[in-house]
Structure 1
Amino acid sequence: MLTEDILKHPTRVLSESQRERFFEEGCAVVEGVADARWLERLRAAMAEMVEASRQVAASDERFILEEGHGPEDPRLRRLTSPVSHHETFWDFAAESASADVAADLCGPDVKFYHSKLNFKWPKGGQRFDWHQDIPTWPHTDYSPVTVGIYLEDCSEEQGPLLAIRGSHKAPLHSMYDKQGNWALKIPEEELPAGWKDEVVSLTGPAGSAVLINCRVIHGSAANTSARMRPMLLNVYSSADSMPYVANPIPSPYEGRIVRGRPARFSCHDPRGCELPPDWSKGYVGPWAFQKPGEAAHS
């Protein structure tokens, strides 16, 4: 669904001014989207998965490990597709206010796409370079939105998400490097003049939703604190938005309608989008092409 059509529908969770600001800036923080009951359930599910990771010695389909990970000191970068590994994560994606927020930004008919749980371990979670999401998973329109939930309070020291306001309105950047590798990185010298003045730090207390437009340029800072920064990210789209390529993070719930009804017609934005590598045989992230010590997760 196109933005002008989404705005014709009333909001469920956001105020009209919050929604208009999101479409103007491409990012927002909304506190209290995950209440105390949901946070308790999500943290318990997260703890179960961290405990399971103690038995894993190398990154696999579930866990992407941070350097130094071991059974006595688990250190994770990502739990891939948490909805595939613990029912609480799917319950939250489908039943909580997270999906209602998505309906405010995608239109009343909402489709689930994929999820991830990104960690920034204390004194180790590193920065993630500037990038845009949609070239990794292009759709027929630009309705896809990421609703990220901080499972713990996130301060400046913990490596919050950073975004460049208004960058979603400019042409998309290539996510390939000069050698043709999928790098998922925009060099700072290629960013528009004055970009530093538009950087916003998306901090917030536990339960806050960080909303990221699929075109907005964003990244994250390093975690220099003694506290973990776990962030659950669910990607939703309008029901009439169709992916062009294989989902890099597939799950049994891909394409599930979580609000409203299935679409009868597809929506197409006239603006094109760079296509990523073929993910049908598995997702190859940007980490192989980042310098040692630079790999991280948004």
Structure 2
Amino acid sequence: MLTQDQKEFYDENGYLMVEDVVTPDQLAKLQTITREMIDAARPLKESDERYDLDEGHTAENPRLTRIKLPHMQNPYFWEILTQSRVTEVLNGLLGPNTLINTSKLNTKAPGGGAAVEWHQDWAFYPHTNDDLLAFGLMLEDVDEANGPLMVIPGSHKGPVLSHHVNGVFAGAVNPDDPEFDLSKAVTLTGKAGSMTVHHVRTLHGSAPNMSDRNRLILFYELARADAWPILGSSSYIHALGQRKFWDDIQSRMVTGQPVLEPRLEQVPARMPLPPAPDNTSIFKTQKTAGQKSAFAMG
């Protein structure tokens, strides 16, 4: 369970590191499943509904940017979210009624695995309030060399920066934006089994992986159940209709029950529209919109 000091740190800074959030046995099982999933991607020639391929992917040298929705591909990822210390951290920060928005296993390949440009998750899916967060469970050690997550402390209390360029939603902020101050960035490194937490409005990004090791981080994006979606970038929910949407909400409950009275707060929001030419992943959104990189080499 989180201490009061940890909760206050998260409230003030918009991020948190929690060590040893899974047991050694849980970590070993997660690592095994992940390696099996990466191996299963070897024959692929292009990205599909399960995998985003990185440049240079071959059967001999599988290179992925992401495994999509791992909690729907293997039930153990759901078990970790709902029946471990991860669950305790979730309820400690968001209360008893929580749901999952999405999950992803970012498998940043060695030798230049793709960067994630600086952004605020809130820009992708504004809600009626901002009690949303993301967990990043480290499945391997993360250090300065293999593209760690970076955050800007306190940015969750500031503005929602523009994530638009060339007239479309780019999924990233312009590094030349005067309100973007990279000098304040904090790098979140840690041992396998540690977990980062960042608020939905916290500015964050990660550089390319220049090491000879994968950087495997399992991300869960979660919400308090009284935060209802206004719009979601590349979101399936708008095509569901009322009955299927209700069924979908129930299927995404992690703990507690759905809340039918949305909590409305005065939170800044900008709609993620119009979409980028390819908005099938954050990597494709950022690339095809043409946003300037904060990690450009040389």
| Separation in 2, partners of 1:18, 1:240 | 23
- Are 1:271 and 2:258 an aligned pair? no
Change (3 A) 1:292 1:264: closer
Mean CA deviation greater in 91-100 or 59-68: 91-100
CA RMSD of aligned residues (A): 2.6
Identity %: 33
CA deviation profile, 1:166-218 (whole Å, cap 9, x unmatched): 111111012111x112211212221437x344211011100111101000111
Aligned to 2:67: 79
CA deviation profile, 1:38-64 (whole Å, cap 9, x unmatched): 111211211121111012110111111
| Separation in 2, partners of 1:236, 1:154 | 23
Give the TM-score normalised by the residue count of structure 2.
Answer: 0.86
The secondary structure found in structure 2 opposite 1:188 is coil
- Are 1:262 and 2:258 an aligned pair? yes
What code does the residue aligned with 1:188 have? P
Change (3 A) 1:101 1:38: same
Asked if the contact 1:161/1:202 (under 8 Å) is kept, the reply is yes
What code does the residue aligned with 1:113 have? N
| Separation in 1, partners of 2:161, 2:268 | 12
| Separation in 2, partners of 1:247, 1:42 | 29
CA deviation profile, 1:11-33 (whole Å, cap 9, x unmatched): xx211111111111111111111
Asked if the contact 1:27/1:212 (under 8 Å) is kept, the reply is yes
Deviation at 1:86? 1.4
Aligned to 1:199: 185
CA deviation profile, 1:118-172 (whole Å, cap 9, x unmatched): 1111112133221111111111110110011010010111110000111111110
Change (3 A) 1:236 1:85: same
| Separation in 1, partners of 2:205, 2:33 | 26
Asked if the contact 1:131/1:217 (under 8 Å) is kept, the reply is yes
What code does the residue aligned with 1:271 have? V
The secondary structure found in structure 2 opposite 1:134 is helix
| Separation in 1, partners of 2:66, 2:74 | 14
| Separation in 2, partners of 1:170, 1:97 | 30
Mapping 1:1-298, distance limit 5 Å: 13-177=1-165, 179-192=166-179, 195-246=181-232, 248=234, 256-277=252-273, 283=280, 285=282, 286=285, 287-290=287-290
| Separation in 2, partners of 1:29, 1:102 | 13
The secondary structure found in structure 2 opposite 1:210 is strand
Asked if the contact 1:137/1:248 (under 8 Å) is kept, the reply is no
Change (3 A) 1:77 1:259: same
Asked if the contact 2:127/2:229 (under 8 Å) is kept, the reply is yes
Change (3 A) 1:264 1:128: closer
Deviation at 1:93? 2.1
Asked if the contact 2:99/2:224 (under 8 Å) is kept, the reply is yes
Asked if the contact 2:232/2:272 (under 8 Å) is kept, the reply is no
Aligned to 1:10: none
What is the number of equivalent residue pairs in this alignment? Answer: 281
Gaps of 5+ in 1: 1-12
Gaps of 5+ in 2: 238-246
| Separation in 2, partners of 1:181, 1:59 | 23
Deviation at 1:260? 2.6
Asked if the contact 1:110/1:257 (under 8 Å) is kept, the reply is yes
| Separation in 2, partners of 1:192, 1:292 | 16
Asked if the contact 1:157/1:223 (under 8 Å) is kept, the reply is yes
Change (3 A) 1:86 1:250: farther
Asked if the contact 1:159/1:222 (under 8 Å) is kept, the reply is yes
